């Protein structure tokens, strides 16, 4: 028997994911929840959703879906709401999938507190949490994890990663996204929620959404970030979007438990064409390295003065991806065909990560196991961002990364 899943938050992102969650072969039935009735109606009309929909349980009220008989809830609401909503759902026995980040608030200590509360809820209730971090299922992350497992990097030496998303980026303007998220019954509450934070001097910054940049490398090298020093860039043109920001760009250098260093940049005010993809990483080991869709191997497996040929291998995304089970690909293909009228299964946005995230979460619910990107992974990523911001505020002082106990 399959599972019953509740989809909460049917805005831009939730609507993209709805056919995948509904289309997964282990999902028997779907319940929809959004404060806006038209968003429920729009998602209910997606063919694969319509086929599995329990119409009588669809609701505009989050409390109601928490009390329903769904096995799990997928929470894709505005980013300042995730953590308390996830905890409420877990308290009702619902395994949760949260859109990133864990929570977005202009108060570093409160971010850490919410991470701690989520871990405590998982421990006390036995109900699991998964953060839907897309970088974990990008092709290069999957490839590097396989190479790391086989020891092909040797010892990890250095890595760098960035999320370079300019406020006016072509294709995804952060101004437009923020304006849209501040609309509707829930969105309109944002200004009132944020006001007290800004009144007591809290500032927004790009490191309160660090999950795209930090997660991939840490997931590959599987070593705990210990400390960081960071520098921040302040907006100079009085752009109103950044009125409540202290820094618009922050770069930090982390030291990891395994002895490597890791440069992370979160940038919201940066021209395009920095020579890098907006969301990418490079990882270098004593033997092998990954950079820009290329694997390099110096063939050095033992200390030796003999020089070996450096082998460079260009890789396509298809070569780097892990396979998905055939029946899952077939089901997603059918779902896309029903919705769009053609049968080409596209892996879609964020490096094709969406189907993998859906498959991992649904499988974990069905198997009643801890999912990938657990509460501990999520807390570690957020703690890295908080520590980097704190270091930038203190002009590059070395700051310890709070240890939530993530071990491999
Ligand atoms: N790469 C990525 O992983 C990525 C990319 C884009 C967005 N996201 C995340 O996805 C989330 C959603 O983004 P979006 O752009 O779709 O937002 P959105 O504002 O378009 O949609 C959010 C929806 O949640 C609903 N909602 C909020 N609280 C509710 C409640 N208590 N009860 C019922 N409905 C409620 C709102 O009515 C709204 O329709 C964000 O947290 C964002 O950070 C992640």
Q: Which residue's CA lies nearest to atom 22 of ligand 1? A: 77
Q: Would 370 be classed as within a structural domain?
A: yes
Specify whether 392 is located in the same domain as 315: yes
Do 219 and 256 belong to one domain? yes
Using most ligand atoms within 8 A of CB, pick from 32, 60, 76, 213 the residue to mutate for ligand 1: 76
Radius of gyration of the chain from its Cα atoms, rounded to whole angstroms: 21
Question: Structural domain of residue 117, as residue ranges?
Answer: 3-133+324-374
Looking at the domain assignment, is residue 194 inside a domain?
A: yes
Residue 332 resides in a domain: yes
Looking at the chain, the whole-number percentage of residues with pLDDT higher than 70 is: 97
Alpha helices in 292-325 (DSSP H): 317-320
Q: What is the pLDDT of residues 42-66, one digit of tens each?
A: 999 999 999 999 999 999 999 999 9
Query: Can you give the CATH number for the domain in which 96 is found?
Result: 3.40.50.720
Task: Mark whether 89 and 174 lie in a shared domain.
Answer: no
Based on the domain organization, do 128 and 142 belong to the same domain?
no
The atom of ligand 1 lying closest to the CA of 36 is: 37
* 263 in any annotated domain: yes
Q: Cβ distance 162 to 267 under 8 Å?
A: yes
Which residues, judged by CB distance below 6 Å to any ligand atom, belong to the binding site of ligand 1?
9-14, 33-36, 39, 62, 76-79, 81, 99-100, 134, 177, 180-181, 184, 186-187, 350
DSSP secondary structure of 139-153:
HHHHHHHHHHHTTTT
Ligand 1 pocket mutation pick from 6, 9, 43, 84 by most atoms within 8 angstroms of CB: 9
Residues 8, 115: one domain?
A: yes
One domain for residues 169 and 61:
no
Give the number of domains in the chain: 2
Asked if residues 89 and 64 have their Cβ atoms less than 8 Å apart, the reply is no
Distance 13 CA to ligand 1 centre (A): 6
Same domain assignment for residues 76 and 181: no
In terms of residues, how long is the chain? 408
How far apart, in whole angstroms, are the C-alpha atoms of residue 348 and residue 345? 9
Alpha carbons 228 and 397: distance in angstroms, whole number: 8
For 216-248, what is each residue's pLDDT tens digit? 999 999 999 999 999 999 999 999 999 999 999
Q: Which residues contact 243 (CB under 8 A, 6 or more apart)?
A: none
- Do 128 and 174 reside in the same domain of the chain? no
- Nearest Cα residue to 281 out of 213, 347, 189, 334: 213
101 and 122: one domain? Answer: yes
Task: Provide the whole-model pTM.
Answer: 0.97
Distance 255 CA to ligand 1 centre (A): 33
By CB atoms closer than 10 A (0-12, 13-18, 19+), residue 386 is buried
Q: What are the pLDDT tens digits along the chain (408 aa)?
A: 899 999 999 999 999 999 999 999 999 999 999 999 999 999 999 999 999 999 999 999 999 999 999 999 999 999 999 999 999 999 999 999 999 999 999 999 999 999 999 999 999 999 999 999 999 999 999 999 999 999 999 999 999 999 999 999 988 999 999 999 999 999 999 999 999 999 999 999 999 999 999 999 999 999 999 999 999 999 999 999 999 999 999 999 999 999 999 999 999 999 986 656 678 999 999 999 999 999 999 988 887 778 888 999 999 999 999 999 999 999 998 888 888 777 666 667 899 999 999 999 999 999 999 999 999 999 999 999 999 999 999 999 999 999 999 999
350 Rama class: left (phi>0) / alpha (psi -120 to 50) / beta: left
Distance of CA 373 to the CA centre of its chain: 9
Q: Angle, to 10 degrees, between the axis of helix 108-125 and the axis of helix 82-91?
A: 10
Cα of 18 from ligand 1 centre, angstroms: 12
């Amino acid at each position: 028997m399959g599972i019953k899943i509740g989809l909460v938050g049917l805005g831009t992102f939730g609507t993209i994911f709805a056919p995948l969650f509904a289309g997964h072969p282990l999902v028997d039935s779907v319940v929809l929840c959004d404060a806006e009735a038209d968003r429920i109606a729009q998602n209910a009309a997606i063919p694969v959703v319509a086929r599995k929909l329990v119409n009588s349980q669809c609701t505009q009220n989050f409390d109601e879906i928490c009390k329903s008989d769904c096995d799990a809830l997928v929470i894709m609401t505005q980013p300042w709401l995730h953590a308390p909503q996830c905890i409420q759902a877990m308290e009702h026995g619902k395994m949760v999938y949260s859109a990133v980040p864990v929570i977005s608030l202009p108060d570093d200590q409160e971010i850490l507190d919410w991470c701690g509360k989520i871990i405590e809820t998982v421990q006390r209730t036995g109900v699991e949490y998964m953060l839907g971090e897309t970088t974990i299922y990008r092709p290069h992350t999957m490839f590097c994890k396989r190479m790391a497992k086989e020891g092909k990097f040797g010892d990890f030496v250095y890595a760098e990663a960035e999320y370079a998303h300019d406020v006016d980026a072509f294709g995804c303007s952060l101004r437009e996204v923020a304006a849209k998220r501040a609309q509707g019954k829930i969105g309109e509450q944002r200004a009132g929620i944020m006001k007290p934070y800004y009144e007591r001097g809290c500032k927004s910054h790009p490191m309160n959404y660090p999950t795209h940049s930090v997660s991939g490398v840490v997931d590959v090298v599987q070593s705990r970030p210990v400390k960081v020093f960071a520098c921040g860039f302040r907006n100079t043109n009085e752009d109103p979007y950044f009125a409540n920001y202290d820094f618009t760009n922050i770069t930090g250098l982390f030291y990891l438990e395994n002895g490597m260093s890791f440069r992370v940049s979160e940038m919201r005010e940066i021209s395009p064409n920095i020579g890098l993809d907006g969301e990418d990483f490079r990882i270098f080991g004593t033997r092998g390295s990954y950079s820009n869709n290329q694997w390099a191997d110096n063939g050095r497996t033992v200390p030796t003065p003999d020089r070996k040929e450096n082998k460079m291998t260009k890789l396509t995304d298809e070569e780097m991806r892990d396979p998905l089970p055939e029946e899952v690909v077939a089901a997603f293909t059918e779902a896309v065909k029903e919705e769009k009228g053609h049968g080409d299964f596209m892996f879609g946005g964020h490096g094709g990560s969406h189907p993998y995230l859906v498959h991992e979460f649904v499988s974990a619910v069905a198997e009643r196991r801890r999912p990938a990107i657990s509460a501990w992974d999520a807390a570690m990523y957020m703690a890295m961002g908080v520590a980097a911001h704190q270091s930038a505020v203190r002009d590059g002082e070395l700051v310890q990364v709070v240890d939530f106990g993530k071990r491999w």
